[in-house]
Each structure stands twice: as structure tokens, then as C-alpha cells.
Structure 1
Amino acid sequence: MKQYYAERNGLIKNSISLSEDELISFFVQTYQYFHSKEYFKCATKGVWRSIPYSNDEELIIPPSLAPAPEVFFATRLQITQVWPIYEYAENYTEEILFTVIEILYDHIAIYDYKKNELITEEPKAEFAEYINNILRMYNGGYYIEPTNGFIMKLPNETLKQQLSYDGKEMPNEVFEQLSTASSMYYRFDANLETKKKAINLLADILEKEREYVKNLFNEEYEVPKNEHDKLIFGIVNGFNIRHNRADQKTDYSKEIWHDWMMQYYTSVIIAFYKLKTNKEIEKLF
């Protein structure tokens, strides 16, 4: 988002903090903007084309919010008072609002009749930009991740660097696991069980490379390799993350330590694959 004079020069001393009602109001106005541009027409009505030499039309792409928006939203949220948005938005809870935003992101599109194709990438990017402008002002800041459409808590600068890592040093399947774990953990509605599963995904990545991790980290830091291994796997094996044995530690501040575990494992994985890549490059020369 472009920064204007006051923000660019650090002259804005106070940031807006939207209440839930204000966020809903801003969302409805944002939705109205995209609705007026018919960006949800394909989702709700489908794409129709006139039949030559006839007054009739044919449906060439069915509506994606099938069989009807009311039914689609009701089945996803298990409540009936969601659609139409204009009618029910003022009664949305945070969970309903965020879920509605994610669904709209998935279904926003325009049809290019000249090229005969459904355009989704540009509408999604524009929708994410406008929604993020208001989400970042709510309750400490949220954002919709532009690549997958999940709403997450706005991260700090260190976490932003982790989440923006492009995975160029690691295999595609590993990067996909890493991305999946991050999406699971940082979603707005993630609970402790979901977060445990996300941490486990990261531990599984390291488990597959366990011996290589021990040896490579030992070379870099000259610390007995089992010390690295003990720290990395002692966490998931001893703090009720991977196992549910009686000897597991369960009486600790999970909300705080799970954040540390998630960021620690993410850092270890990124560091390992960067070191591994450098090692392989060195062998070529």
C-alpha cells in the first residue's frame, strides 16, 4: 500500500484501533465496492452467454457459491443468518466475519468475454489489499494472506521474515509442509490442538533429515551433535506435543511456549536448508 506524506515521514502519532462494529461497517463498505464492480456476479449467478439469433441465454460457468449463496454460507458456518450480507452483517461475530471474508476471497472473480476465461488472480490481489487496509487496524492487527486467503494475526517483524521466506533452498514438498504448518498455526481461529499439529508438521520435516541436521549443525558450531538433537526433539517428545504419555510436561504456559516452539522450529528448518544448500554449492568448487 502506498504511503502518503504523514505516514511516510513518521508524523502519524496515533494509530486507529477499530472496534468490532467499526470493522464490520468498513467491511460492508468494502464489500459494496467489489459488489458494484460485479466481482461476485460469477460466484452468485454464474456466467451466462447470449445464444446467437435467439433471446435465450446459456449457462457456461455455474455459480461457485452453489447451490445458492444462502445454502453455501449456512453449510460452512452452520447458521442461517449470514447471506445476504447487507441484511445480516451487523450481527456478525468476529468468527463469522472472518470466515465470510475468506469465502469471498476464494470466490471473487470476473469473466473476460473476449478471452473466454475466468480471471481470479487480479481480483483476489485487489480484494486482499483493500481488506488488509482495514484488518490491520482491528484488535492489534490481522491480515489475509494473499497466497492462500487465510486470515492471520499480524506478525511482528521477525515473524514476517519467516512467513515471507520463499523456500528457494528447500524441496517443494518441504516448503509446502512449512507453508501448511504456518497457515494452520497463525490462522485467526487456531486453537491449541491445531497449533500442536502445526508444530508436529515442522518436527516431521526435521525428523526426515535428523542425521544430516545433527552432523551439519555440529560442523557449524562445534557443539556435540547430540546436544542439537536433544534440544530439537526433546521439545516435541517431552512437552505433550507429539506424545500423550504420563511423563509428559503439561503444566506450562502453552500459549506462550507454543509460539516459541513454532518460531524455533521454523528458524531451524530455514537455517538447515540454507546451510545444506551452501554445503552442496561448496562441493561444486
Structure 2
Amino acid sequence: MRYYAERNNLLNKDFKIDLDDLKNYFIQVYRYFNDRKLFDVAFNGVWQSERYKEDYQLHPPTMSPSPEIFFLNHLNKDEIYPFWEYYESYSEEELFTVIEILYNHICSYNYSEGTFIEEKYKQEFAMHINNLLKRYKNGFYLNEKHGFIMEEPNEAVNALMNETIPDSMDNDVIEQLKTAVKMYYRFDSNEELKKKAINILADILEPLRDDLKSLLNKEYDISKNDHDKIIFGIVNGFNIRHNDKKQLTEYNKSVWYDWMMQYYTSVIFTYYRLKVQYE
């Protein structure tokens, strides 16, 4: 429900929280979900039994072999878990990583049905966390579809991130696409990681080149090679895939990398949609 101040546009739009505030609010959100035992599957595992049988079997914790070791492995630091002891000392990178991991592992177990329940708790966790992240610095966002924290996206990026994956796309391509998206848009991505993400997208298209030229040419009666030159001329000429003296390097990468990422992602989706249409 939208209350009086929000309904009447009276909220302070310049209100921000700093890292210490974010950490203090985070621990409250964590305790809220932990008190509901929604991290028991992650930390302790659950005892399962086959229906109508007395033998119980331990489903190991998803953070095996223990939360301490799990966080040590992912952060190369031993003062992460238990959170209530160490959260005040977290850096931004450590806090964001902890949030991503908790989002990925939040879960409950329905003993009567013998099933794990994840999605509705992930959505609830993301809602509470995003209400905090949007007020931190210039705004951050826990993307529910991909499960990582990114800077608050503009409308074009947001639409791209929530694009429905075509049914014709195989699992290997989906995994590559998700890897590239996470590598590019994650909060701690740098210029080199963004370059590698664009390269992954080009690698997805490389074995499809001949088929892609034919599909695109079904609607536009021009030389098939014209499509190919437009698509691959970018990564082959702007120091993305090749590193030689002929490459163009003096350009605003922070602007053009964003365009390349969106362009190649769109080309991939276009290919798989056309493939269904013309098969």
C-alpha cells in the first residue's frame, strides 16, 4: 500500500544511506528470514524420508561442508560467517557477495510433500534487499532473474535483462549468455571483464554465422555477407577478439561497450526467434 507521503509525492528523493547503514539494515533482513528457518537447508541440510518408509536420509546442506568453509571459499576470508559477529567489518564487495549467496540459497523444505520451496522466498528476499539497495549511493539492484547485484539499470538494460529466452535456445547457449550478462553487469565488473563478456556473445554467434546470414536474408534481399560484416566487424575491428596494430582502441569504451553488449545480445535473441519462425 502507498501511504500519505508517497501518494502525495512528499518523500525526500535525495535520501541516501551509506555502507554502515546498509550493513545494519542487512543484518535485520537476514535475521528476519533466518528466524523463519529459511536458511536451515543451506546451513544444516534436512532429514528426508521416502514416503511410507522409516529410513531417514540427510540431504546435505547446500553450503557444504559448512557455512564457514563455504564463505571462506567464495571470499578468501575467514571472518564472514557467522554474520552477526563480522558484518560490521564487511567491505562493499563482501556484503554484496554475501547477499547474492543468501539469495541463491534461501529455501524451505515441505516435509509433507517432500519438496523444496525456493522461488517465492527468493522474490521476498529480493524485495526487501532491493528496498535498501536502491537507497545506497546512486542505487543498486539485486536482479531476480540472474541473481546478482548490479547498478540500477536504465530502461533499455532492464528490458534486456528481463527478456524471455526463446524456447529454441539450447542449454549451453543459455549458460553462456547468463555468464556473459553476469560478467558484464555485476556490480564489481571492470573494463576487462566487460570486454570478455562481449567476446562470449561473439563466440555464441561464431558457429551460427552461415545460418544467421541465411535467416537474416529471408527478409532483406541483400548480400548475405553484408550482414556478416556488420555483425562481426565490430568485435574483429575494435580490439575485442583480436589484438594487433590494425585494431581501433582509442574510443569511449564505457559508452561503446554498453552498446556492443546490448547489440550482440539482441542479435542472439533475433537469431533464435527467426529460427523458430522459418523452420
- Which category of TM-score, normalised to the shorter sequence, fits these structures? 0.7 to 0.9
For residues 171-222 of structure 1, what are the alpha-carbon distances to aligned partners after superposition, in whole Å with 9 as ceiling and x for unaligned? Answer: 2344443333212211122233322222122212332332343344456456
CA distance in 1, matches of 2:11, 2:223: 51
Alignment of 1:75-114 (within 5 A): 75-114=73-112
Question: Whole-Å Cα distance in 2 between the matches of residues 4 and 170 of structure 1?
Answer: 45
> What is the RMSD computed on CA atoms of the aligned residues?
2.8
Q: Which residue of 2 aligns with 1:52?
A: none
The aligned residue for residue 31 of structure 1 is 30
Aligned residues: 272
Q: Comparing 230-239 with 187-196, which one deviates more in the overlay?
A: 187-196
TM-score when normalising by structure 2: 0.83
Alpha-carbon distance in structure 1 between the residues aligned to 2:60 and 2:210? 52
The structural deviation recorded for 1:38 is 1.5
Say which is worse superposed, 215-224 or 135-144, in terms of deviation: 215-224
Aligned match of 1:55:
none
2:176 maps to 1:184: no
Where does residue 247 of structure 1 map in the other structure? 246
Deviation at 1:110, TM superposition (A): 1.9
2:150–2:187 Cα contact (<8 Å) kept? yes
Q: Shift of residue 130 of structure 1?
A: 1.6
- Cα deviation for residue 273 of structure 1 reads 3.8
Is 70-79 or 175-184 further displaced after alignment? 175-184
State the partner residue of 1:135: 133
Report the Cα offset of residue 123 of structure 1. Answer: 2.2
Supply the distance in 2 between the matched residues of 1:73 and 1:238 (Cα, whole angstroms). Answer: 41
Determine the structure 2 residue equivalent to 1:202: 201
Equivalent AA in structure 1 for residue 38 of structure 2: Y
One-letter amino acid matched to 1:187: R
What letter is aligned with 1:257? W
User: Where does 1:1-285 land on structure 2 (aligned, <5 Å)?
Assistant: 7=6, 12=11, 14-47=13-46, 60-168=58-166, 170-173=168-171, 174-218=173-217, 220=219, 224-280=223-279
* 2-structure distance, mates of 1:20, 1:210: 47
| Same amino acid, percent of matched pairs | 51
Equivalent position of 2:52 in the other structure? none
Q: Per the alignment, do residues 16 and 273 of structure 1 end up closer, same or farther by CA in structure 2, a change over 3 Å counting?
A: farther
SS in structure 2 of the partner of residue 213 of structure 1: helix
Larger CA deviation: 136-145 vs 157-166? 136-145
Residue ranges of structure 1 left out of the alignment (5+ in a row)? 50-57, 281-285
Residue type of the partner of 1:203? A
Answer yes or no: is the 8 Å Cα contact 2:45–2:60 preserved in 1.
Answer: yes
Answer yes or no: is the 8 Å Cα contact 1:46–1:59 preserved in 2: no
CA pair 218-178 structure 1, distance change in 2 beyond 3 A: same
Measure, in 2, the Cα distance between the counterparts of 1:134 and 1:250. Answer: 39
Shift of 1:7: 4.4
Query: Structure 1 stretch 23-32 or stretch 266-275: which is displaced more?
Result: 266-275
Contact 2:141 2:152 in 1 (8 A): yes
Structure 1 residue 240, shift from structure 2 partner: 1.7
Contact 1:82–1:89 (CA under 8 A) maintained in structure 2: yes
- Residue 97 of structure 1: CA displacement? 0.4
Matching residue's letter, 1:136 = K
Whole-angstrom CA distance in 2 between matches of 1:247 and 1:240: 9
Contact 2:198 2:260 in 1 (8 A): yes
* Residues in 1 aligned to 2:167 and 2:42: alpha-carbon distance in whole angstroms: 38
Distance 1:164 1:8, change over 3 A: farther
Query: Cα 1:117–1:269, aligned 2, differ >3 Å: closer, same or farther?
Result: closer
**Given that residues 111 and 118 in structure 1 are in contact (C-alpha distance below 8 angstroms), is that contact kept between their aligned partners in structure 2?**
yes
Provide closer, same or farther for how the CA distance between residues 41 and 176 of structure 1 changes in structure 2, counting only shifts above 3 A: closer
**Separation in 2 of the partners of 1:41 and 1:169?**
35
Question: Any idea what SS the aligned residue of 1:83 has?
Answer: coil
**1:242/1:63 CA distance change after superposition, 3 Å:** same
